[in-house]
């Protein structure tokens, strides 16, 4: 159980285009979804936290107009990188949790999306 599917797994596109990444919880309802960015050989950097039906909460330094997050249902969240540029190239990982504090259900992660902007 607790499977999170992320799509696409790899995308290459030209500078200036927008890219949408989907994150789906397949066998549970995800009250909260998280979006992370990971640079090579580094840890995960939390970008934003989203709850179904409400606006995402962005971490300091993350441009909300650049990284649009939508959490329209309890099983789907999307991250859209708008007008992507080479510096946006990275590994993006989503996670989903079925509960929030104080129940603290673990986060379950997708397999990540490697984004390469030419």
Binding site for another protein (CB under 8 A): 2, 4, 6, 32, 34, 42-44, 46, 49, 51, 57, 93, 95, 97, 99-102, 104-112, 114
Least Å distance, CB 16 to another protein, is: 26
Strands (E), 1-118: 4-7, 10-13, 19-25, 32-38, 44-51, 57-58, 67-73, 76-81, 90-97, 108-109, 113-117
Least Å distance, CB 18 to another protein, is: 23
Structure-token pair, residue 56: 């995402």
Q: State which residue, 69 or 93, has the beta carbon closest to another protein.
A: 93
């Amino acid at each position: 159980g607790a499977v999170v599917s992320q799509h696409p797994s790899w995308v290459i596109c030209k500078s200036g285009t927008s890219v949408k990444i989907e994150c789906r919880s397949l066998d549970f309802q995800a009250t909260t979804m998280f979006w992370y960015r990971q640079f090579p050989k580094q840890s995960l950097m939390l970008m934003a936290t989203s709850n179904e039906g409400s606006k995402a909460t962005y971490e300091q330094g993350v441009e909300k107009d650049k990284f649009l997050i939508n959490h329209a249902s309890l099983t789907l969240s999307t991250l859209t990188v708008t007008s992507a540029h080479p510096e946006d190239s990275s590994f993006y990982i989503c996670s989903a949790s079925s509960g929030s504090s104080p129940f603290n259900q673990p986060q379950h992660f997708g397999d990540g999306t490697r984004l390469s902007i030419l």
